[in-house]
Structure 1
Amino acid sequence: MTGFIDCHCHISARDFDNDIEDVIENSKQAGILALVAVAEHAGEFEKIIQLSERFPGFVWPCLGVHPVQGAPPDPQRGVTMEVLLSHWRVLNEKES
């Protein structure tokens, strides 16, 4: 199967909330094989994980904080181990 992987997209943006199914379907129709959903801030982590669960094998989470974003008062700038472990299949889906 030939196609493309969008290795950096912000599919969790509010702009896509009302038509996410159409966006995903249009992406597939255009030959996109997968989307890597990239976070800009920690507040997006849960939504990105939910999208990866809603569209398994197509939306892949990339959890971190974009370096140009201002540092929040909370020193946590990346995903915590607790979050990763609570969503273990995100880490090991290729092994199953």
Structure 2
Amino acid sequence: MLSKEEALRVAGRFLDEAYANDSTGWTIVVLPDGSYRYHAGWAVRFDSQEALDSGQPWIGPMMKILLVPDDGSEPEFPPTNIPVPDYLEKLAAGEWPEGGGAR
């Protein structure tokens, strides 16, 4: 089981790589206060520094949550077509991905 601090470090490294070659020029920052534990890991919130500085939430990535599993598997962005809590419930029940098992 990852501690919150470990999950934040994993998320930071993943996001640095994910946005390293991004043409938008956003500065991605992890938001520890908005991060929370779910059944199999952490949901880590992040945003662009530009959105935080300007107060304009539409600046930056559309999805601003990264799931960091406790089992050491690759972090993932949840799908955007359903609310994150619903996705996490489906994941825990083994209903996501379709025909998949619980994580």
Q: TM-score, normalised by structure 2?
A: 0.27
Q: TM-score, normalised by structure 1?
A: 0.28
Which structure exhibits the higher relative contact order, with contacts defined as CA atoms closer than 8 Å and separated by 6 or more residues? 1
Q: Which is helix-richer, 1 or 2?
A: 1
